[in-house]
């Protein structure tokens, strides 16, 4: 079988780019261990080299000369090369950790910024539609646009188990099985945090629903004391299966902790 090297290298580059924070963090962990090893090794070698130098000088000195004393300058000249691997590894380790952190911060900022724009556009659109078309027509338009968005991001879940329904969380366009009672419970759990002076993030909501946490989930949250209100939009798909879209009437915002009023 012939391998398309151009296609392979392109895909490999994409995988490396997407997973660069994880790769750099792993390299940082390995670097910490390697730095410790090289430092310990250099320490033992340094002690042995200084001792060898002391023995060589003591053999060469005459009986009338004072005891051999190796100055700090002489010690440095003897052993500095032994610490090159440890210093090099340490610098590379710090570089990997700093680079991973910067990439992660940039990605979270980009996600948060993009979502803030999307969320603001949706809130403005929804308010304008209700104003111009009225509640009934506005709801029909919202249902239609929600359905089209779902068609762009289809669900591959099997039919829900008995007693549960299929939902779509519109911030990340993820489908999952749950009940309206469990979702309301998650909403109440976050509102309780807000009422008690806390400022929950979007990942707190995902955790309460049993969903995987996301990068954007740490970057967005609620901090102004306004309670969370969910917007549910039931959609009947072409295969006659019902899915309920979930949006936030009170959208989570970036840097929500700075908006928190104590």
pLDDT band at 262 (very low <50, low <70, confident <90, very high): very low
pLDDT score at 207: 93
Report the alpha-carbon distance of residue 41 to residue 45 in Å, rounded: 6
pLDDT band at 1 (very low <50, low <70, confident <90, very high): very low
Which of the pair, 5 or 206, is modelled with greater confidence?
206
Report the alpha-carbon distance of residue 117 to residue 196 in Å, rounded: 29
Pick the closest to residue 96 from 38, 21, 192 (CA basis).
21
Pick the closest to residue 253 from 218, 207, 216, 221 (CA basis).
221
| pLDDT (tens digit per residue) in 170-181 | 888 899 999 999
Secondary structure string (H, E, C) spanning 143-180: HHHHHHHHHHCCCCCCCCCCCCEEEEECCCCEEEEECH
Please state, as a whole number, how many other Cβ atoms lie within 10 Å of the Cβ of residue 192.
Answer: 12
Share of the chain above pLDDT 90, in %: 17
pLDDT score at 117: 45
Please indicate, yes or no, whether the overall pTM of this predicted structure exceeds 0.95: no
| Average pLDDT of the residues of the chain | 78
Report the alpha-carbon distance of residue 108 to residue 184 in Å, rounded: 28
- Ramachandran region, residue 103 (left: φ > 0; alpha: ψ -120 to 50; beta: rest): alpha
Which of the pair, 19 or 219, is modelled with greater confidence?
219
pLDDT score at 181: 95
Q: Are strands 242-248 and 230-236 parallel, antiparallel or unpaired?
A: antiparallel
Pick the closest to residue 166 from 249, 245, 247 (CA basis).
245
Q: Residue 241 pLDDT > 70, yes or no?
A: yes
Share of the chain above pLDDT 70, in %: 71
| Domain layout of the chain by residue ranges | 5-108, 153-259
Which of the pair, 170 or 134, is modelled with greater confidence?
170
């Amino acid at each position: 079988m012939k391998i398309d090297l151009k296609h392979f290298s392109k895909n490999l580059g994409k995988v490396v780019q997407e997973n660069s924070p994880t790769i750099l963090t792993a390299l940082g962990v390995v670097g910490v261990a390697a730095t410790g090893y090289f430092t310990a090794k250099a320490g033992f070698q340094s002690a042995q080299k200084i001792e060898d130098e002391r023995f060589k000088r003591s053999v060469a000195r005459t009986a009338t000369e004072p005891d051999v004393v190796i100055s700090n300058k002489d010690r440095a000249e003897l052993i500095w090369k032994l610490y090159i691997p440890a210093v090099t590894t340490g610098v590379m380790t710090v570089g990997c950790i700093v680079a991973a952190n910067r990439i992660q911060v940039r990605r979270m900022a980009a996600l948060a910024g993009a979502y803030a724009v999307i969320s603001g556009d949706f809130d403005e659109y929804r308010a304008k539609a209700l104003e111009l078309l009225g509640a009934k027509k506005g709801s029909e338009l919202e249902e239609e646009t929600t359905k089209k968005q779902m068609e762009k991001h289809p669900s591959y879940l099997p039919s829900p188990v008995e007693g549960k329904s299929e939902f779509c969380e519109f911030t990340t366009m993820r489908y999952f099985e749950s009940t309206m009672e469990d979702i309301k419970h998650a909403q109440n759990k976050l509102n309780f945090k807000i009422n008690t002076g806390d400022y929950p993030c979007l990942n707190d909501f995902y955790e309460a629903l049993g969903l995987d946490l996301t990068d954007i989930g740490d970057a967005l949250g609620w901090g102004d004391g306004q309670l969370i209100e969910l917007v549910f939009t039931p959609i009947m798909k072409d295969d006659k299966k019902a899915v309920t879209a979930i949006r936030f009437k009170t959208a989570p915002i970036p840097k929500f902790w700075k908006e928190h009023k104590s």
